[in-house]
Amino acid sequence: MPARRVSGSRGNSESVDNYLKAILSLGGPGEHRVTSTALAERLGVAPASITNMLQKLAGAAVPLVEYERHRGVKLSGAGRRRALEVVRHHRLIETFLYKVLDYPIEEVHEEAERLEHFISERFEQRIAAKLGHPKIDPHGHFIPTMEGEMPQQASIRLAEVIDGGTFVIDSVDDRDAQTLRELEANGIKAGARLKVKPRTAVEGYSVSIGNSSKALDLSREMAGDIRLVPSGG
């Protein structure tokens, strides 16, 4: 069975998928319009190239985005379905690499980025079955269902915490391998209990892991990569 992907060359397909994933991520649960500037920053692409691609995606036989030059872009129904399909591929592959092939946590994202665009339905189904149809990937992110549904994360970023408290780490962003490696080495991973001290400085956060009294200082950038839910005890 052939891999499911947007029509066009392999390179074009990867590029289209990356645009759709970026719009999905930046738009958030409310599916807000995303600016070209935000997309250019996320994808590392020149603004002129962003505009050309968005016009192409909006003008396709089956439009993948809704784009207005001065109002930004949002996914169409077809674009959202494709974006969630690729996210499902990515997170299933990450889970397989981590749980079955024993990849280090900081390496699974980059490997999954290469593979996510081209796996077949049969391969996707076999991976899901082998893993017991997981709902969460190794970073704590929800895995979209085959039907293209994904629960919203009822969590906040550490960077939003002002008064401190005790939390459980819901998920850790996986886009920067070096940051992920550093956080993992300090015990900061999905499911870990995190005590956050009230903020006293403009930049940075002081936290401790589990029952440890050892303080760990995190930059504001790192705090933006960590999502938390309140601890039940």
Is residue 5's pLDDT more than 50?
no
Instruction: Give pTM, 2 decimals.
Output: 0.83
Question: CATH fold of 156-230, please?
Answer: SH3 type barrels. (2.30.30)
Closest CA relative to residue 142, chosen from 110, 122, 171: 171
Q: Which residues contact 9 (CB under 8 A, 6 or more apart)?
A: none
Q: Token pair for residue 176?
A: 């920067």
Q: Where along the chain do its domains lie?
A: 1-148, 156-230
Q: Token pair for residue 115?
A: 């593979």
Is residue 1's pLDDT more than 60?
no
Mean pLDDT of 164-169: 93
Is residue 167's pLDDT more than 70?
yes
Q: What is the pLDDT of residues 19-57, one digit of tens each?
A: 999 999 999 877 899 999 999 999 999 999 999 999 999
Could you name the CATH architecture of 1-148? Orthogonal Bundle (1.10)
Indicate the pLDDT class of residue 154, thresholds 50, 70 and 90: confident
Alpha carbons 65 and 71: distance in angstroms, whole number: 13
Alpha carbons 97 and 92: distance in angstroms, whole number: 9
Q: Token pair for residue 23?
A: 């719009």
What letters, b where the CB count within 10 A reaches 16 and e where it falls short, cover 11-44?
A: eebbbbbbbbbbbbebbeeeeebbebebbbebbe
Q: What value does the mean pLDDT of the chain take?
A: 89
- The pLDDT score that the predictor gives to residue 2 is 40
